[in-house]
């Protein structure tokens, strides 16, 4: 008589997190023509980074029409530098915001969602910055900010 032995494991596997955890500000670039009509523009050779540190989000990216930028939990303010190409003047964009810690799921844990309070720019190439959707979260690909070039 043969006896079959079946073994099973009691080890639990953690389910994979299927959503992005980091909430990014979605920014697109625009100009306004002489008739007041807005149109998207492409930065010819974009350089974009965090002002005050060495984080680069674009280094010589050709024909960039937009970028997704991180906000820093705990600071309430962040600045980025933007150059349309390697020889262009550097403009600085500033965002102020509030934050809220959100539970995503058991698999994903927690992340921060943000609410943009204000946006502005300093420099010569950027004309203005407009918040079009203040809620910055990980569930939407909606544009948050429009940057207008002269």
The answer to whether 104 touches 68, Cβ cutoff 8 Å, is no
Report d(CA 148, CA 150) in Å as an integer. 7
- Model's pTM, two decimal places? 0.85
Report d(CA 54, CA 85) in Å as an integer. 18
**CA dihedral of residues 75, 56, 127, 31 (deg, nearest 10):** -130
Instruction: Give the pLDDT confidence score for residue 54 in this predicted structure.
Output: 82
Query: Domain extents for the chain?
Result: 24-149
Instruction: Give the pLDDT confidence score for residue 28 in this predicted structure.
Output: 97
Instruction: Give the pLDDT confidence score for residue 118 in this predicted structure.
Output: 98
**Alpha-carbon dihedral sign for residues 140, 66, 149, 117:** positive
Q: What is the pLDDT along the chain (150 residues), one digit of tens a residue?
A: 555 555 555 556 667 887 777 889 999 999 999 999 999 999 999 999 999 888 899 999 999 999 999 999 989 999 999 999 888 889 999 999 999 999 988 888 899 999 999 999 999 999 999 999 999 998 778 999 999 999
- How many C-beta atoms surround the C-beta of residue 110 within 10 A? 10
Separation in Å, CA 61 to CA 43, 46, 140, 147: 8, 5, 24, 17
């Amino acid at each position: 008589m043969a006896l079959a032995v079946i073994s099973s494991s009691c080890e639990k596997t953690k389910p994979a997190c299927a959503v992005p955890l980091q909430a990014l500000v979605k920014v697109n670039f625009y100009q306004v023509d002489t008739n007041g009509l807005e149109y998207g523009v492409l930065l010819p050779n974009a350089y974009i980074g965090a002002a005050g540190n060495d984080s680069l989000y674009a280094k010589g990216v050709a024909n960039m029409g937009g970028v997704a930028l991180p906000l820093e939990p705990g600071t309430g303010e962040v600045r980025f530098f933007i150059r349309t190409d390697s020889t262009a003047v550097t403009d600085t964009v500033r965002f102020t915001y509030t934050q809220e810690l959100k539970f995503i799921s058991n698999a994903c844990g927690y992340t921060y969602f943000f609410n943009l309070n204000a946006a502005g720019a300093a420099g010569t190439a950027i004309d203005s910055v407009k918040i079009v959707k203040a809620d910055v979260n990980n569930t939407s690909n909606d544009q948050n900010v429009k940057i207008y070039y002269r």
